[in-house]
Structures are given as structure tokens and as C-alpha cells.
Structure 1
Amino acid sequence: MNNIGVMLSNQGDYEEAHDYLVQALKIKRKINPSELAKNYMNLGVNYDKRGDTSSAMRNYRLALDVAIEENDHEDIATVYNNIGSIYHGAAQYNSAIPYLTNAVIHYRLAGDEVGEIWSSANLGSSYDMDGNEDSAHYYLFRALDLAQYYEIPSIDEMIAEKLHMYYRTNEDWYNSLKYLEIQIDLKDSLSNVQAQKEALRQKLKYDSKIEKVELKAKQEADRARDRQRLWFIGIVAALLAVFLGIVYSRLRVTRRQKETIEKQKDEIEEKNHEIVDSMNSAKRLQEAMLPSEEELYGDFEDGTLIYLPKDIVAGDFYWSHKDAEGSHHFAVADCTGHGVPSALMGVACENALNQAVKDVPNGSPADILNRTNDLVVAYFEANQEEIKNGMDLAYCKWHPTNKTLEFSGAYNPLWLWMTEAKEWKITKGDRQPIGNFEKRISFTSHKMDIGEDCWIYLFSDGYQDQFGGEDGKKLKSTGFRKVLESNVGQTGADQKKALELFFEMWKGNEEQIDDVCILAIKLISSK
């Protein structure tokens, strides 16, 4: 079944190939799970051909786990090469290089000369696109030397092409032309070999009397088809003449209709352009109101921000304030919905937060949220507007002198990753928003001493509510925590790259359903 699946995939029948490959995987899992690496790889290749890189990467990583456990250098090298090729194809050359380097190493350990040549050439190309001229030069020429040593003309031609592109990128026109000529000569040589094989096959064919009879029969059939084709062309020409007459009679009627439609289309496009321009202006104003990343976490050990609006303007926003006592206030807010209505609600709520910290300068997070809620409700009541939407948020106040953290939330929680204990400490927010709420109570403040280094995560629900993956389901909070946990040991900048890359791979072809906002800050304990 695995061979049939591979054959169907090579023929472009990816859906049927998928069924055979999945069935082969199930059988192999029962019979000999230690040989699952190739099954996972074949599934990954089929997904990659279909353009589903997220599923391809997942199967490649499963294959890598099995291959490493079995110490199978051939399979390890192939998986590394495939993953590196995906990153290379996505122009993520810095990510492709480590995988392709491992591919070269393991192909060498496996004694696979062809694999080592291909992976060396791919690695050299990635170094070239990443701007590392010396490494690109080394691996491309190593691949060329190996291909010439083992006399593999088809690979010689491929490497000559890469060297031509490498020297052209570096504006070394002499060597660029040199390897272009080598590539052309090799291609012509390969073409001549194929031509000689075809000539020999034709000679043998025409030496056979049976083949001569078949050729004569084919010629007769061709002449018969030509006669039928002429009759068909004559009939079609007559019908076409009649059709053109009808079309011409309708042209004068439809021309005026077309002109009217085109005029209306131009008017609509002009209005759409004006709307988009207005939205972009609103986006610039909204960005000007948001704090810089330096203001958010510049005074802390490390931090990062992931901010991915669904539309041009967003209802999610982040906020910070430093009071007279030196305490740091920071929050992530999520106004209901997205787009323009949500963004307008966000402006009102952000202004209310700014006023609230002035009204209660020494207040706890709960005091500030209570005051913010009063200001938002009063604002809409004064304008005789009914609040149909609200704001969820997580609010923190950090006292650097005594290493104490205070938190209060409107629906949204606080997640703390304790570095030494390697565990999550989750503090839930109150189950009420900022805005009108029937059973309104005062918000609750939670105060905690930071006894060990930790990472704070405040976020809206856009990341975990995103549909995607192989089954098109939501990531949910459990999956979100796993993504954070797998990257929490990295710097803030590297966490940002990893979280954004995972989100794009998880989302795949699905539409982004909501704004995404994640704020991560590293706190140093009092120890």
C-alpha cells in the first residue's frame, strides 16, 4: 500500500495517495513500529506537494523522532533535507541552514554519496540566499567535486546552474558566464545521450516487419482522422458564422450596458479606495496611541509582543503606565468583535484607563478596573448610547522595589511560567467585562511575591481560538500553553518568531478569525 501511495503521489493524485499512505501507516504501526519513519516521510512529501506545509512539517518531525530512535542515518538525513527544503522554499534561509547541515552530516554517515551531493548543493544555495558568501562557495564546490568524482552528469548540470546563480548574485560576471556555459554544455550532452537512445530505439523498431505494418496502419488511421477533422471544421465554421451574426446583432445593445456597468464599477472602486485610505489613516492614529515596545518592557529583563490585527484596525490593544512611585502598570485588552466598531470601543476604553490611573494614583489593579468601568459606562450614558459590547482585559502592577506583582482581570487570566519549578501558575480574572453587566461586583486584586524568575503572559483570545491544523479545529488554551512552554526557554525575540511562525502554519489556508495580542515579560525574583 505504501508503494501504491507513493506512485499515486508521483502521478499527482494526492487525495487517493493520502488514503493509501494513511492505511500503510496504520498497518506498519501494528506490524513493525520501528520502521515508521519512511511512512511518515511519504505522508509528509504528499502533504508538501499539496501545499499543506503545516501537515508536512508535523509528519516530518514524527519521522525524525522514529529515525533518531532507530539511529537510521539515511532516514534522519532525508527528513532533515525535506524540512530544510520547506524553509528554503519559504525564503526562511536562516531556519533552513541548520537542517540542511544535519542532512549533509547524516548522508555522509550513511554513505549515501548522491544524498550528500544534493543536500550540500541545497545548503550552499541557502547560504547564498542568506548572504553567507564563504559558506555558499564551500558547499556548492564540494557538491560539484563529489558529483564529478562519482560521474553523475545530471547532478553536475544542477550544481552548475546553482553556481551560475551564486556568482550572478555576487556580481562576478566572469564566473557566472563560465558556469552558465558549463550548464548549457552538460544539458546539451544529456540531450545528445537521450537523442542517441531514441535513434537506436527507432532503428530497432523499423527493422521489425511487424512494426512496419503497425506504422502503415497508424498512417491510414491518421488520414481517416484528418478527413473527419476536415468535415468537423467545415460544420463548426458554418455554425460559427451563424453564431457571429447573432452576436453582432447583440453587440450594439450590450455595448451601452457594458459602458454603464464599467462606469458604476469605477465609482465603486473609487469609493472603496477612499474607504481603505481612511482605514489606513485610522490605523496610523491607533498605532500612535499604543505604547512602544521599549515603554512596555524596556525596564525589564526581557520581553516580547505579538500583535496581529485581523483587519486594518483592531479591537485588541496593549497599554502601559509608570506611576510616580516607580511601579509598572501593563495590560492587554480585547474589545468585543474586531474591525472599526471594536477599534472605536478600544479608543474609549484606552482613554478610560489613562484617566483611571490619574483618579486613583495609588490604587490596586482592582481599584483601577472599577474606576475604568465607571468611566466607560458614564461615557456611553452621557452620549445616550447603549453599550452592546464590552472589554475583556488582564491588568498587572509590578513593584520593582519589593518584587511584588498585583493582578486583576476582566474575564482574562494571568499565566506565570515559573522557571525553576518548570510549571504554570494561572490566576483567573473575574467573570465580568468592562461595560454594562447585570450582576456587577467589584473586581478582585491578587497579590503575589515573585520568589523565583518567571515569565508573565497576558493575551487576548485570538491566538487560542484560531481554527487550523489538520482537522480545522481551534487550538484552545491547552494547545496554546504547549506552544508557549516549548519556546519559553528562548529569548523574547526568538519566542516572537516561533509564535508567529507556528500561528501561520497552524492557520494554513483558514481565515484569521480575530485579532491576536500576546505580551510576554520576564521578571527577576527577589532571591
Structure 2
Amino acid sequence: MQLINRFLTLNVFLLISTCILGQNPDSIQNVINTTDVDSVKIQAYFELADIYYYDNPDTAAFFYKTGIEIGKSKNLSKIVFNAQVNLFMLYTSQSDYFNAKIIANDALALAGLMKDSMLISQAHSNLGNLYSLIEMYEKALNHFHQAIQVYPIEKNPVEAGKLYGRMGNLYLTMGYYDDAEKAYNRAIEFFKKANVQKGIIVATQNLGIVERHRKNFDKAIEFYNQALKEHEKIGNQAGIAQCMANIGNIYVENNEYYKALTNYHNALKIFIDQNQTIDEVLCYSEIAGLYVKIKKPDLALDYINKSLRLIQTMPENLRTRLAVLYNLQDAYALSGDSANAYKFLDEYQSLNDSLMILDSQKRIDILKTQLEFEQKDKDIQLLTVENKLKETELKRKSIFQIFYLIFIGFAIFAISALFFLFRLKKKANIALEMKNAEILQQKEEIESQRDEIEAQRDMVYSQKLDLEAIHLKISQSIEYAQIIQTSILPDPEILKGSISDYFVFYKPKDIVSGDFYWWAKIENTTVITAVDCTGHGVPGAFMSMLGISFLREIVMKEYITHPGVILRKLRKEIVKSLNQKDELGAPRDGMDMALVSINHNTNIIQFAGAHNPVYIVSSQFQKPEKTLVQEYSIEGADCKLYEIKPDKMPIAIYHKMDPFTNHEIQLHQGDQIYMFSDGFADQFGGLESKRFMYNAFRELILKISDKPMYLQKEIIETTFNIWKEGQEQIDDVVVLGIKI
């Protein structure tokens, strides 16, 4: 929202009676009709102008001009200047830039006659503001520079800081970020001299905007945090919220969505407390947009509908509504509600088209204003030339009458001079016509660009619909693949009656998974494995289905229960099926896995591992010979955890293709076996966004090993979800627990 500040200096009127202040228009008009004191009459006119300032600007302008004319005739220059400034602000507020320019130039001329440097600086500053409004930035900069050059900085550092702040804003608009930075730093210097804390804060925030445009996001956040701390010192809640929201915007640009959410939520609380409805609407909308980005449609719809309910009470805020509609259609699209998505997309496009037309019209109006200004400047130049011609002609006639016979040659010279000036005027007219033609061409180009933008918008929308259709087909195919993958996982009934208890924590990163678990029972022996295939999602799922197929062939058809042999035959089939070769740069897709076979008559298990170990939790474990075992314990736990090391070879082509080591271990009733992929330990999370790590994973298993298997699964799943909260899952996860 643009605020118009009116500056009125009344020190000349200090000796005037206050009897007319605060009266109605009729009583003030009576003072004008009866008083003979010029200063009182002028003040009465200005009082009337102030009364009509907002409700009837034309009447206010009439009274200002009347008072100004009287003041000029009485040489009351300071009073006239202040009134001219007020009239300038009135014309500017009404977008009457042409008259605003005339009155601003008159004020500048008057200030020059008074030789008052502060008033000259103020007049240049007003002209700079005017040219900024009509986007004639070079002229605006010129006037701001002159304002600073003549301003008595030491007398009023506050105004000096404001001038540098305006220059910084203009440089920022023009994209001159180095100059903007210098101007804002100068503004901070002067505000510090005057101890104006709010000025320092605003300039610091603007430095943050500069760094944001430069894509120096860390530096921008540093400036916003400085401003935020200063807002906290003076208790400015609105400023605190704005800084938080701006920091959130930077995190969005840097794709740090969870940090952005934290800042937006904190800002939203303050906006609600402070009844800043527009900021509240925008904050709800931005939060909804972020939930769309992180694929949380329910939260996105909740926040965007809050935003919609608020913006419907403010129909005049079209651009805010446009931002809400954009995120609204995205949220419904993500949730699968295509009807509402299309409805709000259509509303968004209609409103966007309307605003584009308004922007285009506004741009055309600014170009017209610029043309009028340049046209008027040309007219003034031509008028100056014509006046000079008239003066020359008068002198020529006078000289001709007196010295006709003596200075006949001078007459010829004068005629030549007139011809030369005529050619100058003709050239000026030609240049003006060319300028008009150039502006007309620019207008046509703008309209052509608008048509091109509309065509591109339609093309982008069509492509969006095509992409949505393709995405739907792919999603349906992947969801069907999930059904197929789930159907080939082993039947839990196989384990019932063979082992005491078990659990499976299985959490794919995407719809389908590259991790899988599998078991089969051959007579009195059960073969169980947890496998981590290369990749995740669709590629990993293909590899997992290939692995399950080969395991069924090896174990269930060939009746092989020896883990080392199973892994060696599985590796052979994978290498053969994928046509893998031990060559530099060749694909090495495969699997990491831990596999055990349990003899239910003797409780002896055999284990072989490809990169993945097996954990055994027992209170009476007997370490087998020639087996590499690592022992772990924690205080307060009755049992210990024993890690049986795997072979450092994958189920794939590898520079070392040795047989897999088969470990034989005697277990007892109540002992527990754990197999897993690396997805749990590698997950990022926690306050410092670090990996969970295997030490913490082993400690977790030891802490829960005395609990029932179903409760162990709940604890493991809860621990994982809490740990990764606010972070993306980086890999598929499978954890398999078995109790003998």
C-alpha cells in the first residue's frame, strides 16, 4: 500500500491567531471576506484546502493556488513554498503528474531565489519522487543526487538518511545492486548519528533484499536476522513477523522447505495476534504452497482454505486473491480432486488475464505520461527558440529603422540568421515526429508481446494437462506394480509353528520398493533373508522381483538350504541375467543381503552375508570357532548383542568372486535374530539432521529386546518416524526380527 506523506511548515504562521483553526468552511470563508491581514487570509485559504484535501481535491487545489498567488504578490516566499509542496502532494495523489511537475518546478525556482539549501533539496527530492512514479529513473536519480549535494547534512542527519534510503530504493528498482548497497549503508550511517532506530532497521532489511536479488541467501538471512533482533528490542511485533516471513521466502527460493515452514508458522502467529489480515492471508497461502511441494495435500488444503475464507472478505485485494487461487488449484490437483483443481485454475486464469490487462493499461498510461513530459519539454525548447526569434526580429527592425542605409549588410545577416533558426525549428519538429513514431512502435510491440504471452500461457496450460495425464497413467502403473510386488512377498503362515514370534518393519521410500524380505520352509528347516537391492522405486522393484524369483528356484525347487551355496548360486544367476562383466565402468547392480537357515530340531542356524551382517541377541550365546563376532552390551540389559560379520562381496559382479562364508551357530529358545537393510541406519533426522547410524540402531535393539515382537515393531517404527520428521526418507527400509 502506497502511503502519501504531506509536509506542511507552519513556523511563519506562529504569530497568527488560532481563532480560525478547527472552524467549518463557512466561518473560514467569512474570515477571508472580512480580514485585511494578508497572512491571515492566506492561512484561511490553506485551511480550506486542507478541509477539502481528501473529499474534493479540485476544490482543495483551487484554494491552494489562490493562497499561493496572494503569497507571491506579498513576497511571502516561505509560506508559498510550503503550500506548493502540499499542492504537489495533492496532484501526485490524484496521478495528475503533469500539474505536479509544473508546481514542483515552481517550488524549485522559488527555493533557488530564497537560496535556502534545505528547501532546494526538498524540491529536488519531490521531483525525484515524481520521476520515480512515472519510471523515468535516470531523471529521478539526477534530482536525488542534487538533493543530497545541496542538503546541509550536519544540520539534519535524519533527512539525509531518508534521502539515501530513497536513492537505494531507486537503485534497487533499476537493478543496480552495488549502488543500492552503498546508498543503504550511507543511510544507516546517518540514522545512527541521529539515533533513529526504525530507520536503521528499514535500511538493514533493504540490504537483505539486495542480497536476496544477488542470490546471496546466507548474507540476506544475516541482514534479516539483524533487523529482527532490532525489532525485538523495540517491541515491534509486525516488524518481527515481516522479517520471519522474508526469511521464509529466502528458504523457499533455496529449496529448504522445512526451514521455510518454521519461519512462516512463527510469522503467522504474530500476524493473527496483530490482526494483519492481508499478511495472514499470504502466510496461509505460502504455507499451503510448501505443503504442496512436500506432497502433503491434506495440510495444503487446510491452510489454503483458511486463506480463501479470509480473502473472500476483501474483494478489492485482487493480487492477493490471485496468489491464493494459484496455490488452491495446486493443492486440489495434488489431492486428486480434479474438478476443484480445474475450477480454481479457471478462476485463476480469468483473474490473471484481468490483472495483465490492467498492468498493460497502466504501462500504456505511464508511457503516455512519459511522452507528454518529453513532448512538453520539446514544446518549451521550441517556445524558447521562438521567443529568441521574436527578440532578434525586434532588434533587427529597430536597427534597420535607424541605420537603414549604413547597416544594410547587417539586415542580410539578420535574414540569414532567421533562416538558420527556421531550419533548427524544422529539424526539431522532424525529431519530434520521429520520437512519436518510435513511441507508437513501442506501443505496438508491447501489444504484440502481450498477445505472445497469452499464446504461451495457453501452450503451457495444454502441456500441463498432458503432463497430468501422463503422470496419472504412470502413477496407476506403479500402484498396480505395488500390488504385484506385495503379492509375491512370503505368506506369514509359513512361519507359524516354526518359530516363537517375529516382526517385519517394511517401509518403501516410494510406492514400490527395492528392499524385500523372504522366507520358505523346506522340511524341518526355514530359510529367511532380508535383502537390499541396488536403487529404490521402480528400478529397485524390478531387481527385487528378480531376486525373489531366483530364490524360489534355488530353495524351493532345488531344495538347497545351505546359506553359502544359496548366495553363490543367486550371485551366479544375477550376473548371468544382467549380463554383467568385470569391466571398468560396467553396471554393477545387485543386492546386499543377510540369509539364515534355521534347523528347528536342533536350533542350529547357518548364516551367510553379502555386505549385510546378522545380529543375535542372547543371554547364553556360545561363540563359534573361526567366526568373526563383535559383542555389544548396554548398562541394565540382561542380554548382549552379537554381530556376525558378512563377506565384503555383493550379489553382483565384483573384483573378488570367492565363495560365501557359511557360519554355523548354536542358539537356544528365546534367542532373537535381526536382519535389515541400510535404510534405517542411514536415515537423516534429529535436531542436527544427521544419520541415525548403526551404533544407535544396535543400542535401540538391545533396549527393546526384552519386549514382545509386536511391541518391538511399534517402537522401531515410531523411532524411525520421529527421527526423520521434517526430513525426506532417503532409502527403502526393512527390519526383520525372529525369536527362536
User: Is the 1:326–1:399 Cα contact (8 Å) retained in structure 2?
Assistant: yes
Output one character per residue of 1:247-296: Cα deviation in whole Å (capped at 9) or x when no partner.
Answer: 87754432222111111111111111111111111111111111133435
Q: Is the 8 A contact 1:407 1:447 kept in 2?
A: yes
1:486-508 Cα offsets, whole Å, 9 max, x none, are 22222222111111111111112
Could you tell me which residue of structure 1 aligns to residue 721 of structure 2?
504
Which whole-Å CA distance do the structure 2 matches of 1:488 and 1:379 have between them? 40
- How high is the TM-score relative to the length of structure 1? 0.52
2:611 to 407, 411, 428: 411
- Once residues 335 and 392 of structure 1 are traced to their aligned partners in structure 2, the CA distance between those partners, rounded to angstroms, is 6
Distance (Å, rounded) in 1 between the aligned partners of 2:591 and 2:530: 10
Q: State the alpha-carbon separation in 2 of the partners of residues 500 and 51 from structure 1.
A: 29
8 Å Cα contact 2:498/2:600 also seen in 1: no
What is the CA–CA distance in structure 2 between the aligned matches of 1:441 and 1:518, rounded to whole Å? Answer: 27
Paired residue for 1:389, among 577, 581, 589? 589
Correspondence for 2:650: 433
What SS does structure 1 have at the residue aligned with 2:608?
Answer: strand
Q: Does the 8 Å CA contact 2:515/2:733 hold for their aligned counterparts?
A: yes
Amino acid at match of 1:509: G
Could you tell me how far apart the structure 2 residues matched to 1:50 and 1:487 are? 37
Q: Provide, for residues 150-179 of structure 1, a one-character-per-residue CA deviation record: whole Å limited to 9, x for no partner.
A: xxxxxxxxxxxxxxxxxxxxxxxxxxxxxx
Which of the residues 441, 452, 461 maps onto 1:262?
A: 461
Paired residues for 1:470-481 under 5 Å: 470-481=687-698
- Give the aligned partner of residue 192 of structure 2: none
Q: What is the number of equivalent residue pairs in this alignment?
A: 303
Unaligned runs of 5+ in 2: 1-228, 244-260, 266-358, 369-442, 621-637
Query: 1:489 — aligned with what?
Result: 706
Report Cα offsets for 1:119-155 as digits up to 9, x if no partner. xxxxxxxxxxxxxxxxxxxxxxxxxxxxxxxxxxxxx
Could you state the TM-score of these two structures normalised by the residue count of structure 2? Answer: 0.37
Q: What is the CA–CA distance in structure 1 between the aligned matches of 2:363 and 2:263, rounded to whole Å? A: 41
Q: 1:452 to 1:302 in 2, by over 3 A?
A: closer
Please state whether the residue corresponding to 1:402 is helix, strand or coil.
coil
User: Match of 1:318, SS?
Assistant: strand
Indicate which of 538, 543, 554 corresponds to 1:345: 543
Question: 1:450–1:51: structure 2 CA closer, same or farther, 3 Å change rule?
Answer: farther
Please give the residue correspondences for 1:320-331 in structure 2 after superposition, counting only pairs within 5 Å: 320-323=519-522, 325-331=523-529
Residues in 2 aligned to 1:288 and 1:364: alpha-carbon distance in whole angstroms:
26
Aligned match of 1:400: 600
Hey, which bits of structure 1, 4+ residues long, moved more than 4 A?
11-14, 48-52, 238-241, 243-251
Contact 1:360/1:368, CA 8 A, preserved across alignment: no
Distance 1:286 1:457, change over 3 A: same
Whole-Å Cα distance in 1 between the matches of residues 716 and 493 of structure 2?
A: 20
Q: Is the 8 A contact 2:520 2:526 kept in 1?
A: yes
Mark the CA change 1:309 to 1:376 in structure 2 (over 3 Å): closer, same or farther: same
Q: Which amino acid aligns with 1:498?
A: I
Cα 1:268/1:441, change in 2 over 3 Å: same
Instruction: Tell me the equivalent position of 2:737.
Output: 520
SS in 2 for 1:381: coil
Deviation string, structure 1 residues 39-67 (Cα, Å, up to 9, x no partner): xxxxxxxxx99899xxxxxxxxxxxxxxx
Q: How far off is 1:415 after superposition?
A: 0.1
1:361 CA drift (Å) = 1.8
Q: Tell me if 1:242 matches 2:442.
A: no
| Secondary structure of the corresponding residue to residue 653 of structure 2 | coil
CA distance 1:280–1:362, shift in 2 (3 Å): closer
Pair 341,243 (structure 1): closer, same or farther in 2 beyond 3 Å: farther
Instruction: Let me know the Cα RMSD of the aligned residues.
Output: 3.7
* 8 Å contact from structure 2 (residues 521, 527) kept in 1: yes
Which structure has the larger Rg over C-alpha atoms? Answer: 2
- What is the 5 A alignment of 1:293-308? 293-296=492-495, 299-308=498-507
Contact 1:387/1:435, CA 8 A, preserved across alignment: no
- Same amino acid, percent of matched pairs: 31
Cα 1:458–1:426 change in 2 (3 A) is same
Counterpart in 2 of 1:458?
675
1:156 aligns to what? Answer: none
Aligned mates of 1:340, 1:416 — CA distance in 2: 32
What runs of 5+ residues in structure 1 fail to find an aligned partner?
17-47, 53-235
Q: CA deviation at 1:333?
A: 0.5
- In structure 1, give the amino acid aligned to 2:603: K
* Change in 2 beyond 3 A, CA 1:377/1:252: closer
Partner secondary structure for residue 594 of structure 2: strand
How many angstroms does 1:310 deviate by? 0.8
- Deviation string 1:305-340 (CA, Å, 9 cap, x unpaired) is 1111111111101011100x2211110001112122
Alpha-carbon distance in 1 for matches of 2:732, 2:366: 54
**Which residue identity is paired with 2:543?**
M
Q: What residue in structure 2 maps to residue 274 of structure 1?
A: 473
Q: CA deviation at 1:298?
A: 6.2
